Structure 1
Amino acid sequence: MRTALIGTTIAGLLLGATACGGDPAKAPPAPQPSQIKAAVVRAKAPTSTPAGSMLSTLGARMLLSTKDIGAHENGSVSPYSIYSALAMTRAGARGTSAQELDRVLGSSEPQQAAAITAIDAQLAKRSGITLSTANGLWPERTLQVRQPFLDRLASGFGAGVYPVDYLHDHQGARKSINQWVSGKTHKLIPELLPADFVSEGTRLVLVNALYLKGSWSTQMTPMSDPQPFMTAGGRSTPTTMMSATSAYPTAAGSGWRSVSMPLKDKRFAMTLIVPDKGRYDSIRSQLGAVVPRALATRSAGSVELSVPSFSVRTAADLKPTLEGFGVHELFDSNRADLSGMAGEPGDLFVSGVVHQSVVKATPGGVEAAAATAAGMAVGSAPQIDRKITVDRAFFFVIHDTATRAPLFLGQVADPSVPTG
C-alpha cells in the first residue's frame, strides 16, 4: 500500500430533553434507520469567504484549550469537523444560545454555512486521494424536527437525517450511529459514542465525519537508522525518520519555520510548523496567529527534507472547552433555546460534545519507497539548496491549498509514543 497520510476525525453533539409532541411510550420498536430526504439541495459555494482564517482561529483555540491534550503530549483536532458540528447546532439555536455559538465560531449563521460550503466545494475537486466528508442528524423518531431546520442542514451542510429509537432502544441507536461513523472513517474510529453517552432521554445526535487518505507528491524514503529527536519536554529520543528531496514550499517567522509537503493531489498538503530550539511553548501559545502565516509558503529551490513518521490519536470531551469559551446556556436544560430544531425553548439542550481524531503520517511502505528510489536513480541528481531536518517537537496542519482551511491541526511532542 502506497498510502503516506491518513487522517480521520469525528465530532459529535448529543442533545437531550423531554419529548416534543405525541405519546412516544406507545410507539412500536423502531426499524433500522433510513435517511429522510430534505426538500432542498446543497447551496452553491460563495465566490469568497474567510473560511481558512475562521477555522484556523477555532482550531488553535481548541488544540490549546482541550483538557485531553496536554502541552507536551501528542494530540490533534479537526477544525473543519468541530466547526461543522457546531455550525449545524447553531442553525437550530435561537436567542442567547445562538449568540454564544456565534462568538465561538467568529461569525453569523449565514457566514458559517457559507464557509463550510466553500470548503466542501474545494474538497469535491479532489483527484488521486481518498477524501470523504459526511454530516448526519440522528433524531428520536417521535421528535417533530422542524422542516426549515432540515432544509437548512441540507442546503448549508449536505446533512442526512436518520431517525432512531432512543426511547425504547437507545443502545441500538448508539450502535447505529457508531456503525455509520465506522463506515465513514474506514474503521479508524469504530466507536465514537461510549455506552453511557446516550439514554432514553436523548433526542438528537449531530455528527460530522471526515476521512482523508493520500500519498505524498514526492514519495518519502524510510531512513535506515533511528535519529535523535528532542521532545517538547526536552528529552532526546531515537525516532524513525523518512526523507525526500523536492521543491518543498517553505515559510518562516519569528521563532519558527514551516515546510509544506504536498499530497499527490496538490490541492492538499501537510504543512509542518517547526519552532526554533527552545521556542516550542512560546510558538504554541501563539498558534492561532502563526498558522495562517505558516501556510503562506513559497517554493524556494530544492529542499532535502527529513521528518519523523508519526501517529496521533485523540479522543476529547469538548464540553468543558466550550464552557471555557463562554458557551453556558446551550448546556442548561432549563435555559437552552434550540427551538429552531424542534419544540419550544427549554425542550432541547446539548448534553455532550465528543471529538475523535486520528492522523498517521508514514513514508508509504518499503515497496513505495523502493519504487521511488529506483526512479530517482535513473534521473540526474537534484541541486540541493537547503536541508530541513525536523528533529524536535513540531505542529502540523493538513489543509486544502485554495482556502487554506485546516482539516486537521495537531502537535507532535514525541513521535516515539505509541497510539492506543
Structure 2
Amino acid sequence: MPAITRNRIFALPTLALLLSAVACTGTSPGEGASETEGTTDDPTSSTTDGTPGGVNPPPGEAVGSDKPRNLAPDATAEELATLAAEERDFAVELFKALPAGEDNRAISPTSLRVAFGMLHEGARTVSEAEIADALHFTLDKPRLHNAFNHIDLEFAARELPTSGEVEGDDSVQLRLVNQVFGRLDVEWELPFLDVLAVHYGSDMHALDFRDDPEGSRKAINKWVAGETADRIDELLPPKSIFSTVTGVLVNALYLKAPWERPFEYVQEGAKFTRKDASEVEVAMMHGVFDTTSYFKGAGVEAAELPLRGSELSMVFILPEAGTFDAYVAGLDGAGLGEVLAGLSLQPLELGVPRFTFESAFGLKKALQALGMTKSFELGGGDFSGLSSIQMAIADVYHSTFLGVDEKGVEAAAATAIVLYDTEGGIGADQSFTADRPFLFAIRDRGTDTLLWFGRVLDPSAP
C-alpha cells in the first residue's frame, strides 16, 4: 500500500502497472479533441467484461481509501425530489448548449452529474461554485454524495433475472459504476479518496499517464467498453490523454431491459415526417397497451411505456407538427417536470419507430456556456481538495448509445472528466404515433431519476 503522508495518499512512481509500456510524447490540453465528438458485498461493484457475469477489473494499481462502501445511505424523499428537479434543469440547459446540428442525439444527465459529484468533493472556492451552478447542485456536499449513493444502490435493486416465461433472455440489467484514475506521481488528499470509497464505490487506480499516455487511454477505454457491453468503445478520443494529465474521473451507465409488454407488430415502410417536411420510410412498432401513461398539454403530448418490472420506463414527448424547434427552445426543467408529472395511466394505441444511434461530445464549450469557465483555466480554478498540485479540467468527454426495438431498450452512457496540472497543456381510448421529430426520456420512476434524455429527428439515420 502506498505511503500515507500528512492526510494524503501518495501513489509511488515505482508502482508496476498491469499495462504494456508504449512510449508516447505528451500533447497540449484538448489537442485532437472534438467538440462533437467497496467491498465484496457491494451490490454495485463491477462484475462485467462486456457480457454480464464476468470480471472487469479497472487497469492500474489500486491506491485508494480502505473505507467500506456505505450500503445504507439515509437520503430523504425531499433530497431525492431536489436531485430530480435539478437534474431536469441541467439536462435541458446542457442539451440546448450542445453544438448545433441536425443529428439524433442524447445525453445522460445521471452519468454527468455523478461524475461531477466526485469532482465536486475536491473543488474549492471558484470551482466549487462553478460546478454547483452549472450542474445545479444545491445540496451540501455530504448530503449530495449520500443521495447519489442512495440512487446507485436503488439501481442495483432494479436488476431482474430471466423470468423463464418467454423465449430468450428477458433479464433487466441496470448498472452504474464509477472509477477514478490518477497519475503515478500525484499525491491525492485522503478525505477525497474516502468519499470516493464510501459514496461512489470507487478507489483510485494509478496509471502511467506521463510515460505511456496512449496506453493509459486505451486501457481506460477498454474498461469502459467492458462496463457498457462494448456499446461505448472509445470514450476518450485520440490525444485526449497526454503526459501532464493528472487524473480521469469516469462514470459508466448501462441499461438493457425488455418492455413490460412487447409491441404487437412492426409496420415496415411507415412514413416519418422530418423537420423540413420531407418524409422518410421507417419501421414503425405498433401495439395496444393498458400499461401506458399519457399526457396532453399545450402544444405537446407524451406517452410512457414501462420496461419489465415497471420501475423503469421510456417516455416519448411529441410536440405539435412543425413546432419541434420552437418547443425545445421554450422548454426548461420545470416544463419537462410538468410533462413527466402529468403522465397518467391510460390505455393507448402506440406507434413508435425503431431507432439506434450513438452520440459523442467534448463538452468543454457547452459547460463553459453554462458558466464553468475558470475551472478550465490553470490558475483560474481551485481543486485543492483533490491534491496540493494545481489542476484544471482539460475537457469532459461524454458518449451515449441508444437502441430501441419491439423487444425493448438498450442504452449506454459514459463520462470522463480529464484533469491536468501546471507542467504542460492539454384499441384504446387514445392513440399516439411518433411519426415526426420527438424528444424522449428514460427514467427510473422509483427515484424520479432522468437516466437519458434526447431527441429523434430521423429514426432511419445511424
Q: Does 1:276 align with 2:305?
A: no
Give the unaligned 5+ runs of structure 2.
Answer: 1-7, 20-59, 161-171, 409-426
Does structure 2 conserve the Cα–Cα contact (< 8 Å) formed by 1:283 and 1:290? Answer: no
CA gap of 1:89–1:37, structure 2 versus 1, over 3 A, is closer
Which of 176, 195, 200 is 1:133 aligned to? Answer: 176
- Partner SS state of residue 241, structure 1: strand
C-alpha contact (below 8 Å) 2:317/2:440 kept by paired residues: yes
Counterpart of 2:49 in structure 1 is: none
- Give the 3 Å change call, closer, same or farther, for CA 127–156 of structure 1 in structure 2: closer
Task: Tell me the alpha carbon deviations over residues 179-209 of structure 1, each in whole angstroms, 9 at most, x when there is no partner.
Answer: 1101000111111112200111111001100
Identify the match of residue 112 of structure 1 among 144, 160, 184: 144
CA distance in 1, matches of 2:362, 2:276: 25
Q: What residue is the counterpart of 1:377 in the other structure?
A: none
**How much does 1:350 deviate?**
0.8
| 1:46 aligns to 2:75 (yes or no) | yes
Counterparts of 1:276 and 1:234, CA distance in 2: 13
Q: Give the structure 1 partner of residue 256 of structure 2.
A: 213
CA contact (8 A) 1:305 1:387 kept: yes
Question: What is the CA–CA distance in structure 2 between the aligned matches of 1:23 and 1:240, rounded to whole Å?
Answer: 54
1:30 to 10, 14, 17: 17
Report deviation, 1:38.
Answer: 2.3
The letter of the residue matching 1:168 is: D
Q: Equivalent of 2:334, from 280, 289, 313?
A: 289
Partner of 1:145: 188
Task: Specify whether residues 361 and 30 from structure 1 end up closer, same or farther in structure 2 by C-alpha distance, changes over 3 A only.
Answer: same
Matched, 1:62 2:105: no
Specify whether residues 403 and 165 from structure 1 end up closer, same or farther in structure 2 by C-alpha distance, changes over 3 A only.
same
1:111–1:64: structure 2 CA closer, same or farther, 3 Å change rule?
farther
Contact 1:45 1:117 in 2 (8 A): no
Deviation at residue 88 of structure 1 after TM alignment: 1.1
* C-alpha contact (below 8 Å) 1:259/1:297 kept by paired residues: no
Change beyond 3 A, Cα 1:181–1:21 = closer
1:380 is aligned to none
Query: Is the Cα contact below 8 Å between 2:175 and 2:253 reproduced in 1?
Result: yes
1:193 aligns to 2:231 (yes or no): no
Q: TM-score, normalised by structure 2?
A: 0.77
Q: Distance in 2 between matches of 1:45 and 1:234?
A: 51
Aligned equivalents of 2:11 and 2:430: distance in 1? 71
1:177 equivalent in alignment to 2:220: yes
Q: CA deviation at 1:409?
A: 0.3
- Counterpart for residue 358 of structure 2: 313
The CA deviation at 1:341 is: 0.6
Q: Which residue of 2 aligns with 1:85?
A: 115
Return the alpha-carbon distance in structure 1 between the equivalents of residues 278 and 403 of structure 2: 23
Q: Cα distance 1:279–1:163, how it changes in 2: closer, same or farther (>3 A)?
A: same
Q: Distance in 1 between matches of 2:9 and 2:314?
A: 49
Residue 280 of structure 2 is aligned with which of 233, 237, 240? 237
CA contact (8 A) 1:397 1:409 kept: yes
Distance 2:297 2:332 in 1: 12
Tell me the TM-score normalised to structure 1 length: 0.85
Aligned residues: 377
1:367-386 to 2 correspondence within 5 Å?
Answer: 384-386=428-430
1:29, 1:165 within 8 Å by CA — same for their partners in 2? no
Note if contact 1:273-1:395 (Cα within 8 Å) is conserved in structure 2: yes
Cα distance in 1, alignment partners of residues 311 and 10 from structure 2: 50
> Paired residue for 1:123?
155
In the alignment, is residue 159 of structure 1 matched against residue 202 of structure 2? yes
| SS, match of residue 226 in structure 1 | strand
CA contact (8 A) 1:242 1:306 kept: yes
Q: 1:28 to 1:208 in 2, by over 3 A?
A: closer
2:36 corresponds to: none
> Using the alignment, how far apart are the partners of 1:22 and 1:46 within structure 2?
32
Q: 1:362 to 1:338 in 2, by over 3 A?
A: same
CA distance in 2, matches of 1:89, 1:39: 19
Give secondary structure in 2 for the equivalent of 1:295: helix
Residue 239 of structure 1: how far off its partner (Å): 1.4
- Give yes or no for contact 2:214–2:239 (8 Å, CA) kept in 1: no
CA deviations on 1:67-92 (whole Å, 9 max, x unpaired) are 1x52x421000000011111211110
What letter is aligned with 2:237? Answer: P
Question: Structure 1: which 5+ runs fail to align?
Answer: 1-19, 366-382
- Post-superposition CA distance 1:326-352 (Å, at most 9, x none): 1111111122211101115xx111111
